[in-house]
Amino acid sequence: MIKYEEQPSITKNKSTSEDNLIDKIILGKYKLLKKLGKGSFGNIYLCKEISSHEFFAAKLENKSSTINTLELEYQIMNTLKIDSIPLVKQYGQNDTYNILIMQLLGKSLEQIFENILNKQKMSIKCVCNLAIQMIEILEQIHDKNIIHRDIKPSNFLFGNDNSNNNKIYLIDFGLAKKFRESKEDNHYEMKRGDKLIGTARFASIYTMNGYSQSRRDDLESLGYVLIYFLKGKLPWQNILIKNKEERYKKINEIKLNIDTDILCSDCPEEFGEYITYIKNLKYEEDPNYNFIKNLFINSLNKIGSKFDYVYDWDNSKALIDINQFEEKDIKNEIVEDENVKLKLPLNKILYRKKSKKKRNKSQDKSTNDGREEREKEEEKGEESDEINNSSDQINLQNSNACCIIM
């Protein structure tokens, strides 16, 4: 069986090598710790700023690739400056990569849907809570004359601490672009003949047919995301056609011909109203964001609920665990060099003289087996602390003293 897998029609960059980047230092001050995922044109890593001990996300794009978008993504994110996209820390380059350092966020809606909910349908209350936030984010972005062009579950992430782990953020602006210069200007002229830009599963009908995108296309994609969560799948998933062009053609055919009532069957009527409203928008027409947000508020009211940032899962599970890396780094920083220069206040370190009393041979022999067992257990313990098949050992080589960390 051929499993349907979404692939944007734009040729993606060659993947950055994840095998030799972990523990590397980039831009002179960030240590790469773990690969978190992939964006449109690059890989995302968890990294730590060495001087401040703060954690960030690092997006790396191979400079040798035919398409480089990371600098443009950096410029767009700086232009937007809204609190529903990650904060940008730094942009730079080395010999191999373009590098963007930004705010570390938690898991994506796709990760939650697949790994926490095991692809089970989300509740009406949950999806409506998501919908209202997502519409607000798109409204803010569109207000800055930018369209995203790749709305999908993996591009919506939660915050990564207790103060924002119920708040949604939008990421990956590698395909984003302006749809007009300013609010006073008209949209750029609509053209036809573009290749598919975005992800086929969630792309709008106009996008599938090669038309220039506008705000309505972001919103139509969002409608498919919401139905995907509420129903568990979309009618055009798992199409068993190996050829990409033929598969896209079949997806487009289903989207064009499916009746909204069938698409939104078993959904509250407000979901069908949303899809109908968005599909009737003209290319340059201003969407009525308040109207479409109120559709989902009404849907919540009908079930006796409200917009309260409460979902179908424990939001602590949406956090990315960084504790393991904090523990590792603390161990690494205890010893600065072979002379055991400890980066701790003196009042936290006690020194005691090692006993110089010699042991007799019979005593050594009688305890040898026990010592070997302890050494084996210690080796096992060190192996269990390894992260990404690498470990940093602490060697206290001062022969006259041992230290006790209090």
Among the ranges 67-71, 216-220, 235-239, which has the highest mean pLDDT value?
Answer: 216-220
Residue 165 and residue 93 share a domain: no
Encoded tokens for 252? 């487009």
Residue 196: give the domain boundaries: 109-314
Nearest to 89 by CA among 76, 105, 74: 74
For residue 12, being part of any structural domain is answered with no
pLDDT for position 19: 55
pLDDT for position 143: 97
Residue 358 has pLDDT above 90, yes or no: no
Q: Which residue carries 């949303």 as its tokens?
A: 274
- Cα 24 to the chain's mean position, in Å? 21
Residue 170 and residue 88 share a domain: no
pLDDT over 70 percentage in the chain? 75
Among 271, 296, 314, give the residue marking a domain's end. 314
**Total domains, the chain:** 2
Residue 87 has pLDDT above 50, yes or no: yes
Q: For residue range 126-161, list pLDDT tens digits in order.
A: 999 999 999 999 999 999 999 999 999 999 999 999
More confidently predicted of 89 and 373:
89
Residue 228 and residue 186 share a domain: yes
Residue 159 and residue 45 share a domain: no
Residue 195 and residue 122 share a domain: yes
Q: Classify residue 135 by burial, with Cβ atoms within 10 Å: 0-12, 13-18, 19+.
A: buried
Nearest to 22 by CA among 36, 10, 12: 36
For residue 90, being part of any structural domain is answered with yes
CA atoms of 22 and 83, how far apart (whole Å): 30
For residue 382, being part of any structural domain is answered with no
Residue 265 and residue 147 share a domain: yes
Summary mean pLDDT of the chain: 82
Q: Which residue carries 């290319």 as its tokens?
A: 283
Residue 293 and residue 170 share a domain: yes
Q: Is 150 known to be catalytic?
A: yes
Would you mind telling me the total number of residues written for the chain in this entry? 406
Residue 176 and residue 284 share a domain: yes
For residue 16, being part of any structural domain is answered with no
Residue 134 and residue 78 share a domain: no
CA atoms of 259 and 265, how far apart (whole Å): 10
Residue 291 and residue 213 share a domain: yes
For residue 403, being part of any structural domain is answered with no
Listed range (26-30, 194-198, 295-299, 343-347) with the worst mean pLDDT: 343-347
Among 269, 290, 314, give the residue marking a domain's end. 314
Residue 141 and residue 94 share a domain: no
For residue 217, being part of any structural domain is answered with yes
Residue among 19, 23, 143, 150 flagged as catalytic? 150
For residue 394, being part of any structural domain is answered with no
Among 46, 70, 103, give the residue marking a domain's end. 103
Residue 159 and residue 257 share a domain: yes
Q: Which residue carries 């096992």 as its tokens?
A: 380
For residue 14, being part of any structural domain is answered with no
CA atoms of 132 and 113, how far apart (whole Å): 18
Q: For residue range 32-43, list pLDDT tens digits in order.
A: 999 998 866 789
